[in-house]
Structure 1
């Protein structure tokens, strides 16, 4: 559905995006992560055709965004970072205007607007001026205009910005529902949002792709066995480090030891051997588990 190759954007001598390449299949929910200034928003602007690339190309549903911009943009629903809306318009008036810009036939607009209003829970505010709305309500208006024309691709830049906890949960549910019929890309610096709704994460650092992985793969065990026991450190490291399936043992905290297993070692047998060694030595065993990587730990590693 989306194919990006060697995408680059320069501002004079400064390279904001540097040779980014990735593909996103139909129906995926992908989180685009990175610190502020990493290049996420610039990538999104080039993906949607709002900003020209200095090099590389973007294809949306097989269409080159540079050569076939209008047709490609017709497949996209886009919520920009700062949610630009016209404050002097009512919500319904604004959505009708957006429908016209998308080329939606006039006879089809009422039903599409009604559906967008219902899905974003805007009904109680529908006739009010946008200027009277809070930041959270304006954000909902931005999402409503993005989904109004039922796009094949939905690109959301900080979609939960300004929403309260209840609205955030509603937004997560809406994104999951939208993914049934559209490809969704979410740009954010909030890790919890990515973990809650995305199946894949792309981390951008200094304008480059630092990581592209499925979340379930990130959550797999790191292969390090954590042993919590009360023992004299040198004796514990010697005893645990000499186990047949252990490559190395080190102390990583008070009464906490990490065992790195040998390649191909059976994790269950290694855990059983470690537990037996601790019990035979007469040390109190407080805990035994395998370390798992989380999005937070991976992001911290990449950000160093």
Structure 2
């Protein structure tokens, strides 16, 4: 769906985006995560064709954006962080105006506006002036204009920014529904948003792509925590000889005998089999097993590791 190669954008001598490459498939929900100023909005503007890269290429749906901007832009919807709206216009009138700007044919506008209003649950507020809407409802109006014409790609810049918990939950459900028919890219500096709705995360740091991973892969632990009452050499030897164990770290936990082991498994090792073998090693060494469980690193921990030098 989207192919980005060596994307770079400078503002003066500052590299806002620095040699970023990634691929996004159809119907993925991908989060661009990073601190303010990491390059998220700049990348989104370049993906939309509103900002030219200094170097690098963008291909969307098999078409090079640089050579086919009008055609590509008709297949995407964009919600900027601060959507310009006319507060005195009614919601339905604003969406009809947006449909006109998008080039939707006159005979198709009514149906396009109606579908967008239904999809965003704005039916009861369609005739209300935009100025009377809450922040959450205005964000929904922004999403409604983005999905006019059923685009194959949705680019949402900070879609939950400023929303209360209830409005945020509604927006999450809405984005999940929209992803059934479109690829969704959303930017945020809030880790919980990525964790809640995204399939994949791209972490940006100082304009560079620091991490590209699927959330389900991130949650799959390859590390086990073992706590026993023994630090004897035989147990350590048994654990090191296990074919599933790639690395072993040991530290005393309190007193002279209790120990804590952190065991990282090889990529092809089966977690259940390894855990069973570890338990047998403990018994064989004559030690007591206090704890044996996977160590799961969450997105927050990984994000802090990536940005540890910024603390």
Task: Name the TM-score, length of structure 1 as normaliser.
Answer: 0.88
**Are the equivalent residues in 2 in contact too, given 1:84–1:142 (CA < 8 A)?**
no
Q: How does 1:58-97 map to 2 (within 5 A)?
A: 58-97=58-97
Q: How does 1:100-115 map to 2 (within 5 A)?
A: 100-115=100-115
- The yes-or-no answer on 1:226 pairing with 2:221 is no
- The yes-or-no answer on 1:241 pairing with 2:236 is yes
Matches of 1:103 and 1:284 in 2, distance apart?
Answer: 72
3-state SS, counterpart of residue 87 of structure 1:
coil
Flag the 1:282–1:241 CA change in 2: closer, same or farther, 3 A: closer
Matches of 2:67 and 2:277 in 1, distance apart?
Answer: 63
Flag the 1:238–1:160 CA change in 2: closer, same or farther, 3 A: farther
Residue aligning to 1:150 = 150
Residue aligning to 2:192 = 192
- The yes-or-no answer on 1:290 pairing with 2:294 is yes
State the number of aligned residues.
Answer: 299
Compare 130-139 and 5-14 and name the one that shifted more.
130-139
3-state SS, counterpart of residue 236 of structure 1:
coil
- The yes-or-no answer on 1:125 pairing with 2:125 is yes
Question: How far 1:75 moved relative to its partner?
Answer: 0.8
**Are the equivalent residues in 2 in contact too, given 1:136–1:161 (CA < 8 A)?**
no
Question: How far 1:51 moved relative to its partner?
Answer: 1.0
**Are the equivalent residues in 1 in contact too, given 2:225–2:263 (CA < 8 A)?**
no
Residue aligning to 2:138 = 138
RMSD between aligned residues: 2.4
Question: How far 1:124 moved relative to its partner?
Answer: 2.2
- The yes-or-no answer on 1:271 pairing with 2:275 is yes
Question: How far 1:102 moved relative to its partner?
Answer: 0.8
Question: How far 1:226 moved relative to its partner?
Answer: 0.7
Residue aligning to 1:183 = 183
Q: How does 1:42-53 map to 2 (within 5 A)?
A: 42-53=42-53
Question: What are the superposed Cα offsets for residues 79-107 of structure 1, whole Å, 9 maximum, x if unpaired?
Answer: 01123222222211110100000111222
Compare 258-267 and 156-165 and name the one that shifted more.
258-267
Flag the 1:291–1:50 CA change in 2: closer, same or farther, 3 A: same
Flag the 1:236–1:175 CA change in 2: closer, same or farther, 3 A: same
Q: Which ranges of structure 1 fall in alignment gaps of 5 or more residues?
A: none
Q: Which ranges of structure 2 fall in alignment gaps of 5 or more residues?
A: none
Question: What are the superposed Cα offsets for residues 113-162 of structure 1, whole Å, 9 maximum, x if unpaired?
Answer: 12211221222222222122222111111111001121111011111223
**Are the equivalent residues in 1 in contact too, given 2:231–2:259 (CA < 8 A)?**
no
Matches of 1:41 and 1:185 in 2, distance apart?
Answer: 11
Matches of 1:284 and 1:39 in 2, distance apart?
Answer: 51
Compare 15-24 and 258-267 and name the one that shifted more.
258-267
Question: How far 1:67 moved relative to its partner?
Answer: 2.7
**Are the equivalent residues in 2 in contact too, given 1:226–1:256 (CA < 8 A)?**
no
3-state SS, counterpart of residue 210 of structure 2:
strand
Matches of 1:252 and 1:143 in 2, distance apart?
Answer: 54
Flag the 1:57–1:277 CA change in 2: closer, same or farther, 3 A: closer
